A and B are shown apart, each in its own frame.
Chain A
Amino acid sequence: MLKSGLKIICCFLIAVGLAGCATRNDPQVHLSPAATEQGVCRVAVLPFVNETGVRAAGVQVARIFTSELIASEVYQVEPEGEVYFFLQRNRLKPVDLLEASMYEEMASQLEVDALIRGRVIKMEERKGSRGKVPFCSLQVDLVSSEEGVLLASSYHQGSGDAYQKILHFGTIRTNSGLIAQVSREMIEAWSEKGLNRCSEN
Chain B
Amino acid sequence: MTMLRHSLSRLALILLLFPLLGQLECALAIQVGPANKAPVLSVDTAPEVLNGEVSLIDSVFGLRVALLPLADVSRGDNGINLKMTHDLAIALRGRGIDLVPEGDILQFMAENRIRFSGYLDSLLARKLGKTYDCGLVLLGTVTELSNDVDPALGLTLTVMDAKSGSPVWAATRATSVSEQVTFLGRGTPKGVEDLKAPLFQDLLNEFHKNLPKSLPERTKPYQIISARVTPGYVQGGEVMDFRLEISFVEDPPKQILLDTKLGIVPLYRAQAENLYLGHWVAPATAGAYPLTLMFDWGRGELSQKLTNVASYQVVNDPPQLQVSLKKGMKIGDITAFRGNLIILPELQGETPVNHWSLTITGERGQVFLKEERDGTLPAKLVWQGTDAKRRQLPDGLYNMLVEIWDVAGNHSGITHKLALKRSSVPIQVASVVRDGKTYLQVFQEDAGVVPVAEWSIKVSSLAGEALLKSQGGFLPVLLELPNLGVNATILCDIEAKDTLGNFMSLTETKVRVEGSEVQVAQKVETAAENWVEDF
Is B178 on the interface with A (CB-CB < 8 A)? yes
Looking at B151-159, B447-455, B522-530, the stretch in contact with chain A turns out to be B151-159
Looking at A57-65, A97-105, A151-159, the stretch in contact with chain B turns out to be A57-65
B4 touches A173 (CB 8 A): no
Is A32 on the interface with B (CB-CB < 8 A)? no
Is A81 on the interface with B (CB-CB < 8 A)? yes
Is B30 on the interface with A (CB-CB < 8 A)? yes
Is A79 on the interface with B (CB-CB < 8 A)? yes
Is A127 on the interface with B (CB-CB < 8 A)? no
A174 touches B176 (CB 8 A): yes
A166 touches B22 (CB 8 A): yes
**Residues of chain B with a CB closer than 8 A to A56's CB:** 73-74, 76-77, 79
B119 touches A67 (CB 8 A): no
Q: Which of A2, A79, A169, A171 contacts B165 (CB 8 A)?
A: A79
B7 touches A6 (CB 8 A): yes
Q: Give chain B nearest CB distance to A22 CB in angstroms.
A: 14
A64 touches B158 (CB 8 A): no
Q: CA A68 – CA B169 in complex, angstroms? A: 10
CB-CB nearest in chain B for A184: B172
Q: Which of B3, B4, B226 contacts A89 (CB 8 A)?
A: B226
**Residues of chain A with a CB closer than 8 A to B124's CB:** 81
Is B118 on the interface with A (CB-CB < 8 A)? yes
A81 touches B121 (CB 8 A): yes
A85 touches B223 (CB 8 A): yes
Chain B interfacial residues counted at CB < 8 A: 61
Is B174 on the interface with A (CB-CB < 8 A)? yes
Q: Give chain B nearest CB distance to A84 CB in angstroms.
A: 7
**Residues of chain A with a CB closer than 8 A to B79's CB:** 56
Say whether, besides A67-B170, A166-B22, A174-B154, A10 and B14 are in contact (CB < 8 Å): yes
Q: CA A163 – CA B29 in complex, angstroms? A: 9
Query: Which A159-201 residues have a C-beta within 8 angstroms of B?
Result: 163, 165-177, 179-180
Looking at A23-31, A33-41, A70-78, A142-150, the stretch in contact with chain B turns out to be A70-78
Say whether, besides A79-B125, A170-B25, A71 and B166 are in contact (CB < 8 Å): no
A6 touches B11 (CB 8 A): yes
CB-CB nearest in chain A for B141: A63
Q: CA A177 – CA B74 in complex, angstroms? A: 15
Is B143 on the interface with A (CB-CB < 8 A)? yes
| Binding site secondary structure of chain A | helix
Say whether, besides A85-B223, A175-B154, A9 and B171 are in contact (CB < 8 Å): no
A165 touches B11 (CB 8 A): no
Is B493 on the interface with A (CB-CB < 8 A)? no
CB-CB nearest in chain B for A63: B141
Is B175 on the interface with A (CB-CB < 8 A)? yes
B166 touches A76 (CB 8 A): yes
Q: Which of A3, A166, A174, A177 contacts B3 (CB 8 A)?
A: A3
Interface residues on A, range: 35 or more
Q: CA A81 – CA B160 in complex, angstroms? A: 11
Q: CA A195 – CA B153 in complex, angstroms? A: 33
B118 touches A63 (CB 8 A): yes
**Residues of chain A with a CB closer than 8 A to B150's CB:** 131-132, 173
Is A82 on the interface with B (CB-CB < 8 A)? yes
Interface string of B123-145 (1 = CB under 8 A from A): 01100000000000000010110
A71 touches B170 (CB 8 A): yes
A2 touches B7 (CB 8 A): yes
Is B122 on the interface with A (CB-CB < 8 A)? yes
Say whether, besides A56-B73, A81-B122, A63 and B143 are in contact (CB < 8 Å): yes
**Residues of chain B with a CB closer than 8 A to A82's CB:** 121-122
A176 touches B154 (CB 8 A): yes
B170 touches A174 (CB 8 A): no
Is A13 on the interface with B (CB-CB < 8 A)? yes
Q: Give chain A nearest CB distance to B274 CB in angstroms.
A: 13
Q: CA A170 – CA B156 in complex, angstroms? A: 21
In the complex, the 4 A-B pairs of residues with the closest C-beta atoms, listed nearest first: A176-B154, A81-B121, A176-B174, A70-B170
Which B residues contact A (CB, under 8 angstroms)?
Answer: 3-4, 7-8, 10-11, 14-15, 18-19, 21-23, 25-26, 29-30, 71, 73-74, 76-77, 79, 116, 118-122, 124-125, 141, 143-144, 150, 152-158, 160, 165-176, 178-179, 181, 223, 225-226
29 cross-chain CB contacts under 8 A: A6-B7, A10-B11, A13-B15, A13-B18, A60-B144, A63-B71, A64-B154, A64-B156, A67-B157, A68-B170, A70-B168, A71-B171, A71-B172, A85-B121, A89-B225, A89-B226, A163-B29, A169-B22, A169-B23, A172-B29, A173-B150, A173-B178, A174-B154, A174-B174, A174-B175, A175-B143, A175-B144, A176-B143, A180-B174
Give 12 A-B pairs besides A169-B23, A180-B172 with Cβ atoms closer than 8 angstroms: A6-B10, A60-B143, A68-B172, A79-B120, A79-B121, A79-B160, A84-B116, A85-B121, A168-B22, A172-B29, A174-B153, A176-B143
Which A residues contact B (CB, under 8 angstroms)?
Answer: 2-3, 6, 9-10, 13, 17, 55-56, 58-60, 63-64, 66-71, 76-82, 84-85, 89, 131-132, 163, 165-177, 179-180
